[in-house]
Amino acid sequence: MASVEEITTPVAFLYCGACGMPPEYCSYSPNYETHCIKWLKKNVSPADFLKYTASSNSTADGGEEGGEDAGPPPPSEPWTTKERLVAFYTKYQPDKLDGIDGILEKYAGKEDKLFNALVKKYGPEPEDPYYYGAGSGDEGDVADKMGALDVKDTKKRRGAAAKKVKQVDTRVVVQKISRNRKKAVTHVVGMDTVPGIKLKEASKAFSKRFAGSSSVKDKEIIIQGDHLEDVAEMIVNKFGVSGECVFLDLDGEFVAFV
pLDDT number for residue 236: 92
CB 186 within 8 Å of CB 226: yes
pLDDT number for residue 12: 67
Lowest-pLDDT range of 29-33, 34-38, 149-153, 168-172 = 149-153
Highest-scoring range by mean pLDDT, 118-127, 130-139, 200-209, 247-256: 200-209
In this predicted model, what pLDDT tens digit does every residue of 60-119 receive, in sequence order?
444 444 444 455 666 677 778 888 888 888 888 888 888 888 888 888 888 888 888 888
In sequence order, the 6+-apart residues with CB closer than 8 A to the CB of 116 are 211
pLDDT number for residue 51: 76
Give the predicted TM-score (pTM) of the model: 0.45
Distance CA 28, CA 55 (A): 11
pLDDT number for residue 235: 93
pLDDT number for residue 166: 44
In this predicted model, what pLDDT tens digit does every residue of 185-205 receive, in sequence order?
899 998 988 888 899 899 889
Whether 231 has a pLDDT exceeding 90, the answer reads yes
